[in-house]
């Protein structure tokens, strides 16, 4: 018990970024229950992270991976440049190995999934704030097993564009490449992912987090 003369430390200031308002609200409510944590900002888009962080100066930013405007990993990199004192903890539904690797390369200090129990999430925030790294152990093991993406930047771009469907001619028009070049990149991507066809190659690459980006 704290006595009347005891000084309470300043609470850890948090910024929450998630495009799902219900999820964001639930996270805020859970974290606000902790005496040493306070939510100072909530945003629903990745491109709102840096401006809001500059305005509210949080200690830790909890970022979702998939958001409109700017994905969470790009937002993490931008935030680390704009406000180096703010630590980044990725909190996501998508526990994909490729996401974890890219998040760490972008300067994130932690990566946990959204179904992490509230007490563990609060502890992850405290540890990240203290300068430690926090990574979901299952995802860490999967990341080591999966390794880096085998796809080249162009193959990734072709698969990413192919997610919305369309013929080879359609893809060639969008990417300003010849149909033969598109076929070559698709063939290479199918081979590298061990897939049987384009749709399966996209699914495998998605599951490994290799297609995140523009």
For 146-159, write each residue's pLDDT tens digit: 667 888 889 999 99
Cα Rg, the chain, nearest whole Å: 20
CA 159 from chain centre, in angstroms, equals 20
Is residue 181 in a domain?
yes
Structural domain span for residue 174: 153-207
pLDDT digit string, tens, across residues 1-20: 444 444 457 999 999 999 99
CATH (domain of 121) = 3.40.50.2300
Residue 209 pLDDT:
80
Residues 44-62 have a mean pLDDT of 98
Amino acid 7: pLDDT: 46
What pTM was computed for the model?
0.68
pLDDT in tens, 65-113: 999 999 999 999 999 999 999 999 999 886 777 788 788 889 999 999 8
- Please tell me the number of Cα atoms within 13 Å of 164 on its side-chain side: 7
Same domain, 30 and 130: yes
6 lies in a domain?
A: no
pLDDT band at 145 (very low <50, low <70, confident <90, very high): low
User: 134 and 158, same structural domain?
Assistant: no
Residues 29 and 113 in one domain: yes
How far is the C-alpha of 61 from the C-alpha of 22, rounded, in Å?
18
Q: Which domain CATH number covers 193?
A: 1.10.10.10
DSSP-derived 3-state class of residue 15: strand
Higher per-residue pLDDT: 128 or 94 = 128
- Phi then psi for residue 38, to 5 deg, are -145, 135
Taking 70 as the threshold, does the pLDDT of residue 50 lie above it? yes
User: Are residues 117 and 165 both part of a single domain?
Assistant: no
> What six digits make up the tokens of 3?
């006595």
Total structural domains within the chain: 2
Dihedral, 170, 69, 27, 209 alpha carbons, nearest 10? 40
Whether residue 162 sits in one domain with residue 137: no
Confidence class for position 28, pLDDT limits 50, 70, 90? very high
- pLDDT of res. 198: 92
Tell me the residue ranges of DSSP E strands in the chain: 12-17, 37-43, 60-63, 87-92, 110-113, 134-135
**Domain boundary residue among 127, 145, 163?**
145
Q: Are residues 76 and 110 in the same domain?
A: yes
Indicate if 24 and 82 belong to the same structural domain: yes
Domain finish residue from 102, 122, 145: 145
Assess if residue 213 is contained within a domain: no
Write out pLDDT tens, residues 100-117: 878 888 999 999 988 888
pLDDT at site 144: 61
Q: Do residues 140 and 194 share a domain?
A: no
Distance CA 45, CA 147 (A): 29
pLDDT at 191: 82
pLDDT digits (tens, 9 = 90+) for 156-213: 999 999 998 889 999 999 999 999 999 989 988 888 887 889 999 999 888 888 887 6
Domain boundary among 145, 179, 199: 145
Q: What pLDDT is recorded for position 194?
A: 79
79 token code pair = 């935030």
């Amino acid at each position: 018990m704290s006595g009347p003369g005891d000084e309470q430390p300043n609470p850890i200031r948090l910024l929450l970024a998630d495009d799902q308002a219900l999820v964001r609200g639930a996270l805020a409510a859970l974290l606000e229950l902790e005496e040493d944590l306070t939510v100072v900002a909530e945003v629903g888009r990745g491109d709102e992270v840096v401006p809001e962080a500059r305005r509210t100066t949080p200690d830790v930013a909890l970022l979702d991976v998939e958001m409109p405007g700017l994905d969470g990993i790009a937002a993490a990199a931008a935030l680390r440049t704009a406000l180096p004192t703010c630590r980044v903890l990725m909190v996501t539904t998508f526990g994909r190995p490729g996401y974890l690797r890219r998040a760490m390369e972008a300067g994130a200090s932690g990566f946990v999934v959204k179904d992490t129990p509230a007490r563990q999430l609060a502890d992850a925030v405290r540890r990240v704030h203290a300068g430690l790294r926090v990574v979901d152990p299952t995802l860490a093991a999967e990341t080591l097993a999966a390794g880096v993406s085998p796809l080249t930047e162009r193959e990734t771009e072709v698969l990413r564009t192919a997610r919305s469907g369309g013929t080879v001619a359609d893809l060639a028009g969008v990417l300003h490449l010849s149909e033969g070049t598109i076929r070559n990149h698709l063939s290479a991507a199918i081979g590298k992912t061990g897939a049987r066809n384009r749709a399966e190659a996209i699914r495998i690459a998605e599951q490994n987090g290799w297609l995140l980006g523009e």
